[in-house]
Structure 1
């Protein structure tokens, strides 16, 4: 492919068709720029996809941690309810004495 373009350029320059060569070179530059822009957009798309995966992993970890925290809080609350009843009974007995 590179040989083909080299031959076309050489042919245009040897035939003194500078205007055609100029149009050809501008077209080639535009194609290169389009290729670079396509490559950049694919790269950005891949990076966004990877960032979404990372965010989803973080969200899943946070969700699991919160669920575990809720279970722990429920255990603490359930274990403290009998103590609360005992404390209230003691407080009520002391109030009656006074």
Structure 2
């Protein structure tokens, strides 16, 4: 997968298509940001779940 993206980048730069390369780079950055936001939301969901389990254990005792 990394080779695939590397080949696209090199091809766009060698063909002097800087505007298309810029769009590609922005798209790649957006994908990384979306991945980070998904990971953070999953982490927050898991932490909330753990906290609820601790609250239930505390209240049952």
Report the alpha carbon displacement of residue 43 of structure 1 after superposing the two structures with TM. 0.4
Determine the C-alpha separation between the residues in 2 that align with 1:2 and 1:47: 32
Aligned length: 61
1:33 is matched with 33
Determine the C-alpha separation between the residues in 2 that align with 1:26 and 1:39: 20
Structure 1: tracts of 5 or more residues without a match: 62-98
- CA RMSD after TM alignment: 0.3
1:3 is matched with 3
Determine the C-alpha separation between the residues in 1 that align with 2:4 and 2:28: 13
Taking structure 1 as the reference length, what is the TM-score of the superposition?
0.62
2:15 is matched with 15
Structure 2: tracts of 5 or more residues without a match: none
Asked which structure has the greater RCO (Cα within 8 Å, sep 6+), the reply is 2
Report the alpha carbon displacement of residue 41 of structure 1 after superposing the two structures with TM. 0.1
